[in-house]
DNA sequence: CGTATATTTATAATGATTATAAAGTAGGTA
DNA sequence: TACCTACTTTATAATCATTATAAATATACG
C-alpha cells in the first residue's frame, strides 16, 4: 500500500507541484483502503477544503494513474470508475449486489503473467483482475429473503 | 466460443422472443471474435438492417450479459464498454495504444479461482481478467519512431 | 519578495448509456 | 390462417460521468 509521502514523491519526481489539493487527495488514497471513485474522494474532502473542485480530483487521479502510482478499476457494477491505491499484483473481488470490493493476493499471478509473456507478443505494463460474485453479507440476505 | 444457435437458445430459454434484430446481433457476436462495442455492432448491422436502432443493440447486449451468455469488458482504454462472446475462463490482453484485444488461455486460472474461494467469503459468479501493454505492432512503431 | 508558469476553479461541452412512450411484431391460439 | 396481446423496437429526449476551456490563483524558485 502506498504511503502519503510515497505518492507525493512520485508527483514531485514527475516535476509536478505539490498543492494542498494534491496533498489531500494523496492522503485520502493512502489512508483509506476502500476503492473510491472521484466523487467519493471529492465528497469526503469537501468538508475540510470547501473550495476543492471535482475537476481537480479527476486531474490528480488521472495523473497518479498515468504515473502508475494507483490503478484504475472499471466495471465495478455501477457506471463509475474506481481507483485502487494498492499497486501490488492482486485480485479484486467485487460484490455484484452491494459493489463492495476486497483484495485477494495469489502466488499464482506470477505464473499467469509468464503464460501471457509467452503466448502474446505484448510487452506488459499493468493488469486489472476482477472476480464477481456475492459477498458474505449479500449471500446472507439472499438466504433469509428466499428462505421462508 | 458461442454459436449463433447457442446464443439464440439461451434467449429462448429465458422466455424472450427471437426477433430479426436479436438474431442478427447474436450472429454478429458468434461470427466475430473481435471484442465489439455496441456502436461497432450497430454500425456493422445497419447496412443490412437499416431500421436497426442503437437502443436495441444495447438492450440485447445487456440481456445477453445478464444471462451470462457474453461478458462485459470495461476499461479497454477508451471510455466505451466492449463485449466478449467467449465465456470460457481466459485473459484479455489489451493494447494501451491501439486498444487491440487478444485472448490468452491459462491453466493457472483454476488455481487462482481456488485461492479466491478460500480467502474471500464470496460466492463467485464471473471474472474479468485484463492485462495491459503494447501489442507487437505498437512496439514496432515505438521502436522506429524513437530509434533514430 | 516577485515573477513565470503550473494548477485550480467554475462553467460549459461531450458522449456513452438509459428512460420513455408510441408504433410494430412474434408467437401462441381459435 | 387470421387474430390478439404482451413483448420489442424505434425515435426522441434525458441522464450523468468525465473532459475541455479559459480566467483566476498559487507554487516554486531565483
Per residue in B2-36, pLDDT tens? 899 999 999 999 999 999 999 999 999 999 988 89
How distant is the alpha carbon of residue B18 from its chain centre?
22
Contacts of A5 (CB under 8 A, 6+ apart): none
Mean pLDDT for chain A? 86
Domain total in chain A: 2
Contacts of B56 (CB under 8 A, 6+ apart): B21, B25
Provide the pLDDT confidence category of residue B147 given band limits of 50, 70 and 90: very low
pLDDT at A147 over 50: no
- Whether A82 and A115 map to the same domain: the answer is no
Residue-wise pLDDT tens digits, B92-105: 888 877 778 888 88
**Cα dihedral: A106, A109, A111, A113 (round 10):** 180
pLDDT at A77 over 80: no
Residue-wise pLDDT tens digits, A90-115: 888 888 777 788 888 888 888 888 88
Distances A133 to A35, A69, A96 between C-alpha atoms, Å: 17, 28, 6
Q: Give A17 CA → C4 C1' in Å.
A: 14
Of B81, B106, B119, the CB nearest to A112: B106
> Any idea what the CATH number is for the domain that residue A129 is in?
3.30.1490.190
Provide the pLDDT confidence category of residue A148 given band limits of 50, 70 and 90: very low
| Interchain CB distance below 8 Å, A134 and B115 | no
End position of a domain, from candidates A87, A106, A132: A87
Q: Is the ipTM of this complex over 0.85?
A: no
| Domain span at A130 | 88-148
Of B72, B126, B134, the CB nearest to A122: B134
DSSP calls for B84-119: ES--SS-EEEEETTT--EEEE--TTHHHHHHHHHHH
Round to whole Å and give the CA distance between A43 and A93.
25
Residue B45 confidence (pLDDT): 96
Contact B146, A140 (CB under 8 A): no
Q: Give B62 CA → D6 C1' in Å.
A: 21
Between strands B91-95 and B101-104, the pairing is antiparallel
Residue-wise pLDDT tens digits, B39-95: 999 999 999 999 999 999 999 999 999 888 998 886 656 678 888 888 877 888 888
- Whether B17 and B83 map to the same domain: the answer is yes
Region B144-148: mean pLDDT is 54
Interface of A with B in 68-107 (CB under 8 A): 72-75, 81, 91, 93, 95-96, 102, 104-107
Provide the pLDDT confidence category of residue B146 given band limits of 50, 70 and 90: low
Residue-wise pLDDT tens digits, A109-132: 888 888 888 888 888 877 778 888
Round to whole Å and give the CA distance between A131 and B128.
6
Contact B32, B70 (CB under 8 A): no
B55: CB within 7 A of chain D nucleic strand: yes
- Whether A98 and A68 map to the same domain: the answer is no
Which 74-133 positions of A have CB less than 7 A from strand D? 79-81
> Any idea what the CATH number is for the domain that residue B29 is in?
1.10.10.10
- Whether A80 and A124 map to the same domain: the answer is no
| Interchain CB distance below 8 Å, B132 and A127 | yes
Residue B145 confidence (pLDDT): 60
Contact A112/B at CB under 8 A: yes
Contact A71, A2 (CB under 8 A): no
A19: CB within 7 A of chain D nucleic strand: yes
User: What's the grid cell of residue B141?
Assistant: 512503431
Residue-wise pLDDT tens digits, B118-145: 888 988 877 778 888 888 888 887 666 6
- Whether B82 and B92 map to the same domain: the answer is no
- Whether B3 and B60 map to the same domain: the answer is yes
Residue B61 confidence (pLDDT): 96
> For B99-119, b where at least 16 C-beta lie within 10 A, e where not — what string?
ebbbbbebebbeebbebbeee
Shortest distance between the Cα of B88 and any Cα of chain A, in A, equals 14
Residue B148 confidence (pLDDT): 42
- Whether B111 and B122 map to the same domain: the answer is yes
End position of a domain, from candidates B87, B102, B126: B87
- Whether B15 and B80 map to the same domain: the answer is yes
Amino acid at each position: 500500500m502506498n504511503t502519503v509521502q510515497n505518492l507525493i514523491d512520485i508527483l514531485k519526481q514527475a516535476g509536478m507541484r505539490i498543492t494542498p489539493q494534491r496533498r489531500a487527495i494523496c492522503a485520502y488514497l493512502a489512508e483509506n483502503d476502500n476503492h473510491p471513485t472521484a466523487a467519493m474522494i471529492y465528497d469526503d474532502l469537501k468538508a475540510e477544503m470547501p473550495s476543492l473542485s471535482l475537476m481537480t480530483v479527476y486531474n490528480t487521479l488521472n495523473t497518479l494513474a498515468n504515473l502508475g502510482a494507483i490503478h484504475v478499476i472499471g466495471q465495478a457494477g455501477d457506471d463509475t470508475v474506481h481507483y485502487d491505491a494498492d499497486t501490488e499484483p492482486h485480485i479484486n473481488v467485487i460484490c455484484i449486489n452491494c459493489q463492495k470490493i476486497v483484495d485477494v493476493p495469489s502466488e499464482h499471478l506470477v505464473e499467469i503473467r509468464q503464460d501471457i509473456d509467452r503466448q502474446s507478443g505484448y510487452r506488459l505494463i499493468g493488469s486489472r483482475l476482477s472476480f464477481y460474485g456475492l459477498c458474505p453479507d449479500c449471500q446472507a440476505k439472499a438466504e433469509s429473503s428466499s428462505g421462508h
